Amino acid sequence: MISDIVLSSPTVAVGEILTFKADGIGPIIFQVRCFVERPRPRGFRECPECQPRKALSGETLTLIADPETWQSWTGRFEITATDSEGDTKKVSIPVINEEKPVQADRPRGREAVAQVIADMPRDQDVVRQVMKY
Task: Give the total number of structural domains in the chain.
Answer: 2
Q: Do 77 and 35 share a structural domain? A: yes
Q: Do 115 and 94 share a structural domain? A: no
SS3 of residue 125 by DSSP: helix
Cα–Cα separations (whole angstroms), residue 16 to 8, 38, 45: 11, 24, 19
Provide the whole-model pTM. 0.67
For residue 21, the enclosing domain spans 6-100
If we measure between CA atoms, which residue out of 118, 13, 29 comes closest to residue 70?
A: 13
> Which tens digit of pLDDT belongs to each residue from 50-107?
889 999 999 999 999 888 878 777 788 999 999 999 999 999 999 988 765 544 445 5
Average pLDDT over residues 45-49: 74
Asked if the model's pLDDT at residue 31 lies above 70, the reply is yes
For residue 23, being part of any structural domain is answered with yes
- Give yes or no for a contact between 75 and 50, defined as CB atoms under 8 angstroms apart: no
Q: Do 107 and 94 share a structural domain? A: no
Q: Do 93 and 109 share a structural domain? A: no
- CATH number of the domain to which 82 belongs: 2.60.40.10
Q: Do 117 and 86 share a structural domain? A: no
Which residues of 8-107 form beta strands (DSSP E)? 12-13, 17-21, 28-36, 52-55, 61-64, 75-82, 88-96
Q: Do 32 and 75 share a structural domain? A: yes
pLDDT given at position 39: 73
SS3 of residue 130 by DSSP: helix
- Give yes or no for a contact between 31 and 82, defined as CB atoms under 8 angstroms apart: yes
